């Protein structure tokens, strides 16, 4: 097998980097600092294969500066909203991702937030750490039960269905909005109710979980108007992409008591977070940890390696991203 020049933009797990060095002519990012846009362009002028992550912005202005040798962008991650896939296609550059390997871990984190916010788990931790716990009281630190509540899932793909399976086991009633209904067998297994109208679903849910990708069509899908359709007692959980929610509108409503709470693992302008959001007591905020397990990161790396190796062997990479799929 020939060894293409592969440039990796961020530090990956040691086992993944070692295998990549064995198989390819690989240049690694030892200090794990995000590449500047200039450094990214320079890498694209040299590499035959680029392995970027979500922290790299590969828009059309960047991609048109790629060298003639760049033939594959093997993304380390499932989401490709940071890559202009159509421009890549026009320039004859294949884009691949790592689907499937993040599903269970992200669904676990979604469920963790879904429990943490209504049950005020982080509030309880803070009380203990500050030495303010004075003993049990019948009316102190009351949260809300999730069993029997209606969960509305936005995006019923792999992760949405994994969330639904977990939520069903906790006694939640499963509802969902998707571009189209899932197969009847899946719907029956999850005892899920499909809503063609997102507006109608939002008005009736107790908890809303965002599990759809960020695309031009889903930017601010939960706009200020749609957030106002939700009940003041409702909660929002987002482990997908921050851009799907109007973060400023969400912050205002949480502060005004127009929503009960939110659990967010992603933010609209990552890594920046709205300072007002950070001050709220009815939120649980995490630093994009949804897929942050050792197993997940290694599985992602193995997917990247398979895509590169298949390309280098002259075959079609298995996880090719087609613009029409987005």
| Residues involved in catalysis | 241, 270, 288
Angle at 167 between CA 162 and CA 172, to 5 degrees: 145
DSSP annotation of 35: P
- Provide the 3-class DSSP secondary structure of residue 176: strand
Phi, psi of 175 (to 5 degrees): -130, 155
Largest distance between two CA atoms of the chain: 69
Sheet with 94-96, edge to edge strand ranges: 25-27, 5-8, 49-51, 72-74, 94-96
Note whether 292 and 298 are within 8 A (CB): no
- Provide the 3-class DSSP secondary structure of residue 13: coil
Question: Going along 99-172, which residue ranges are E strands?
Answer: 150-154
DSSP annotation of 135: -
Which residue, chain included where needed, has tokens 């469920």? 111
Q: What is the dihedral of CA 217, 220, 224, 225, to 10 degrees?
A: 10
Note whether 252 and 274 are within 8 A (CB): no
């Amino acid at each position: 097998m020939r060894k293409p020049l592969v440039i990796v933009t961020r530090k990956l797990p040691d086992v993944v980097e070692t295998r990549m060095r064995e198989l390819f002519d690989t240049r690694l990012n030892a200090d794990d600092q995000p590449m500047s846009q200039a450094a990214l362009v320079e890498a694209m002028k040299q590499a035959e294969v680029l392995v970027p992550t979500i922290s790299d912005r590969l828009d059309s202005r960047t991609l048109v500066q790629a060298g003639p040798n760049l033939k594959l962008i093997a993304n380390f991650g499932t989401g490709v909203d940071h890559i202009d896939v159509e421009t890549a296609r026009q320039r004859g550059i294949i884009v691949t991702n790592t689907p499937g390997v993040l599903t269970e871990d992200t669904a676990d984190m979604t469920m963790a937030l879904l429990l943490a916010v209504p049950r005020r788990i982080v509030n309880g931790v803070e009380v203990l750490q500050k030495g303010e716990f004075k003993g049990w009281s019948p009316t102190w630190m009351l949260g809300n039960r999730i069993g029997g509540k209606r969960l509305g899932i936005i995006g019923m793909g792999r992760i949405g269905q994994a969330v639904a399976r977990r939520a069903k086991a906790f006694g939640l009633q499963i509802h969902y909005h998707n571009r189209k209904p899932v197969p009847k067998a899946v719907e029956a297994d999850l005892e899920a109710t499909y809503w063609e109208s997102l507006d109608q679903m939002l008005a009736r849910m107790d908890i809303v979980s965002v599990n759809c990708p960020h695309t031009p069509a889903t930017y601010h899908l939960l706009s200020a108007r749609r957030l106002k359709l939700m009940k003041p007692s409702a909660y929002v959980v987002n482990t997908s992409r921050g851009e799907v929610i109007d973060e400023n509108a969400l912050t205002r409503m949480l502060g005004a008591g127009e929503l009960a709470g939110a659990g967010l693992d992603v933010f609209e302008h990552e890594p920046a977070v709205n300072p007002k959001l950070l001050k709220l007591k009815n939120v649980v905020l995490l630093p994009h940890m949804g897929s942050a397990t050792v197993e997940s990161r290694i599985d992602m790396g193995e997917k990247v390696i398979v895509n590169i190796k298949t390309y280098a062997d002259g075959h079609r990479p298995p996880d090719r991203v087609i613009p029409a799929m987005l």
